[in-house]
Amino acid sequence: MTYFITQFINGLQIGAIYALIALGYTMVYGIIKLINFAHGDLMMVGAYIAFFALSNWGLPIYLAAAVSMVGTAILGVVIDRIAYKPLRDASRLSALITAIAVSLLLQNACMLLFSSSPRRFPTVTANLPTISIGNSTVNVIVFISIALAIALMIILNLFVNKTRIGKAMLAVSEDMRAAQLMGINVDFIVSLTFAIGSALAAFAAVLYLFSYPQIEPYMGAMPGIKAFIAAVLGGIGIIPGAMVGGFLLGIIESMAKAYIPSAFSQVTDAVVFLVLILVLLIKPSGLMGKPEKVKV
């Protein structure tokens, strides 16, 4: 039982990271119907910014995280303005291909700037206590990570549902043209969405580095893909869906690693992708999604 609990906590931790990244995917998709494939790479840029803020400028970890969130948010907005905005009225496929190009651009730019050799993120867990669960131990940082992620999600939910700007965001995702006619500044809302999504990705990067302290230009690819699956699992475009999907995927992944016998342990990664296939086959709109009405 304690084994199950430990593995469940492991799953929650990685799930919280997936959820934060998935939120960026889902919010952007909700507003402009674009799957921003560069989103995982924004997380990678966030990791580099946090790294430099921490090691080169000597900032404390919470300030480094803040600098990283602001920097990545600005980058997200700039990318939208330069790469996606001109294609707002073009076909969705063109925008998707542009997103892939942006992803490659970010990866290769970072490889050029920082070399492809991985860097070690300083350990922040060294002086933190560990908690024993049965005969396993869990570092307090795991609980801190999960708590921070959940806190951020609650704030986001309050922001979207309670504030005027948040409601404007929902309105734009409902019907962009109608929202515009109602006097909502759609361009501002889109930029804001990119900024929030990117900042969340940067925050996810910092949480990621707490436990997996290595930074390299391709580090965003795998978490990006898995977070995308989490967004689809929860129902892409739906904010609570991304949160549920992220946690669920993290737990599924952790349980697969924990309970699939050693002899078959190579297949654990496939389980995550199997989830994507099953969702697309059984309920393409995702767990929390409503089937889309076809307008004639």
Question: Where does this chain bind other proteins (CB under 8 A)?
Answer: 3, 6-7, 10-11, 13-14, 37, 55, 100, 103-104, 115-118, 120, 122-123, 125-126, 130, 132, 135-139, 208, 211-214, 216, 218-219, 221-222, 225, 228-229, 253-254, 257-258, 262, 265-266, 269
* Angle, CA of 30, 36 and 39, to the nearest 5°: 115
Pick 91 or 117: Cβ nearer other proteins: 117
* Angle, CA of 69, 75 and 80, to the nearest 5°: 125
**Residue 15 near residue 229, CB atoms below 8 Å:** no
| Integer Cα distance of 164 and 143 in angstroms | 33
Least distance (Å) between residue 89 CB and other proteins: 23
Nearest partner of 174 among 110, 239, 102, 86, judged by Cα: 239
Pick 137 or 161: Cβ nearer other proteins: 137
Least distance (Å) between residue 90 CB and other proteins: 18
Pick 266 or 296: Cβ nearer other proteins: 266
DSSP lists the bridge partners of residue 138 as 131
Q: Phi/psi of residue 130, each to 5°?
A: -115, 155
Question: Does residue 74 sit in helix, strand or coil?
Answer: helix
Pick 176 or 202: Cβ nearer other proteins: 202
Structure tokens given for 152: 């951020």
Pick 116 or 163: Cβ nearer other proteins: 116
In the Cβ-directed half-sphere of 113, how many Cα atoms lie within 13 Å?
12
Pick 125 or 157: Cβ nearer other proteins: 125
Least distance (Å) between residue 12 CB and other proteins: 11
Q: Phi/psi of residue 214, each to 5°?
A: -135, 135
Least distance (Å) between residue 73 CB and other proteins: 24
Question: Does residue 126 sit in helix, strand or coil?
Answer: coil
Least distance (Å) between residue 53 CB and other proteins: 16
Least distance (Å) between residue 269 CB and other proteins: 5
Question: What is the sign of the dihedral through the CA atoms of 160, 165, 167 and 168?
Answer: negative
Pick 124 or 186: Cβ nearer other proteins: 124
Structure tokens given for 24: 């960026």
Question: Does residue 177 sit in helix, strand or coil?
Answer: helix
Least distance (Å) between residue 122 CB and other proteins: 6
